[in-house]
Amino acid sequence: MKVVMIGAGYVGLVSGACFAEFGASVTCVDVVQEKIDALRDGVMPIYEPGLDLLVKKNVDAGRLGFSTDLASEVPKADIIFIAVGTPTRRGDGHADLKYVYAAAKQIGQHLNGYTVIVNKSTVPVGTASQVSRLIAEVNPEADFSVASNPEFLREGAAIGDFMRPDRVVLGIEDTRAEKVLRELYRPINLIEAPILVTNWESAELTKYAANAFLATKISFINEIANLCEAVGADVHDVAKGMGLDARIGKKFLHPGPGYGGSCFPKDTLALIRIAQ
């Protein structure tokens, strides 16, 4: 199976290397020539434990390559993942989808034969529908399906999270796409990880809802920490007492400086904008 990954950043590179480890033939495409040159030389643009060894292993095996030429890679693909950035749009807090839409238009120009186009980027509800519309406008004769497949990777544990996920979420609208994606994720079935098949909108919202809930747990325990200081309680004991309840769970109940990173701040803000 031929996979093209548009975007060789954190999500795209980790996902591409892991799909290659599954046995797929993967090409990661990026517009930054320096990044592609560095990857070809074995230099990673990000730090993720074990990623350099995984990339080298699959490059040496001939299953993983890198390119800046999307036009030549799209016609050969069975599945194309869009894994580009969706930063917060300046001024209003919405997710900026210009890179996603630009990728969709480029894909549409070069499709050849049935292809599944998958949103791997974190995108607002309705994006899959827009991607489908844009591709159809660019190439009315194209034979394609669009799917949503959000990632749930933690920095520092991304390879393990990909290879042994809590779940895989697939937002699809037709059985052809489901068949192709289940085949790609077949190694996941061997470890009996749940694969949730739903519609586009549910898959897109699942990512935002999950991140917002985790951010809520962090903020909540920090507020409880302030209350503990005021009344003389030990927040660590309180958090342990809460976390032993299976309905709550012990993860993300550690008081600290608050949530941050590359995802939680932008995703919580984007979810607010979606709700508004």
pLDDT at residue 107, rounded to an integer: 97
pLDDT score for 61:
96
- The reported pLDDT for the residue numbered 223 is 97
Q: What's the confidence (pLDDT) of residue 92?
A: 79
User: Are 128 and 235 in a shared domain?
Assistant: no
Q: How many C-beta neighbours within 10 Å does residue 61 have?
A: 11
- 172 and 266 in a single domain? The answer is no
**134-148, 174-188, 249-263: the lowest-pLDDT one:** 249-263
Say whether pLDDT at 5 is over 80.
Answer: yes
Shared domain check, 105 and 192 = yes
For 104-119, how does the pLDDT look when each residue is reduced to its tens digit (9 = 90+)?
999 999 999 999 999 9
| Together in a domain, 174 and 129 | yes
Are 139 and 230 in the same domain? no
| pLDDT surpassing 90 at residue 93 | no
Q: Report whether 5 contacts 12 (CB < 8 A).
A: yes
State the average pLDDT over residues 246-262: 91
Q: Is 263 a catalytic residue?
A: yes
From 18, 28, 228, 263, the catalytic residue: 263
Which residues span the domain enclosing 148? 2-204
Sheet architecture: strand order including 64-67? 64-67, 25-29, 2-6, 79-82, 115-119, 144-148, 168-171, 195-198
The residue behind tokens 């976390």 is: 243
Domain boundary among 204, 234, 264: 204
> What does the pLDDT look like over 207-244, one tens digit per residue?
999 999 999 999 999 999 999 999 999 999 999 999 99
Q: What is the pTM of this model?
A: 0.92
Interval 170-194 mean pLDDT: 94
Q: Are residues 142 and 233 in the same domain?
A: no
CATH code at position 32: 3.40.50.720
pLDDT, residue 189, reads 84
Same domain assignment for residues 256 and 134: no
Express as a percent the part of the chain with pLDDT over 90. Answer: 86
CATH number of the domain within which 226 lies: 1.10.1040.10
- Alpha-carbon distance 170 to 193, whole Å? 13
Same domain, 135 and 182: yes
Specify which residues 82 forms β-bridges with. Answer: 6, 119
pLDDT at res. 21: 97
In this prediction, residue 261 carries a pLDDT of 82
Q: How many domains are contained in the chain?
A: 2
The predicted model gives 248-270 an average pLDDT of 90
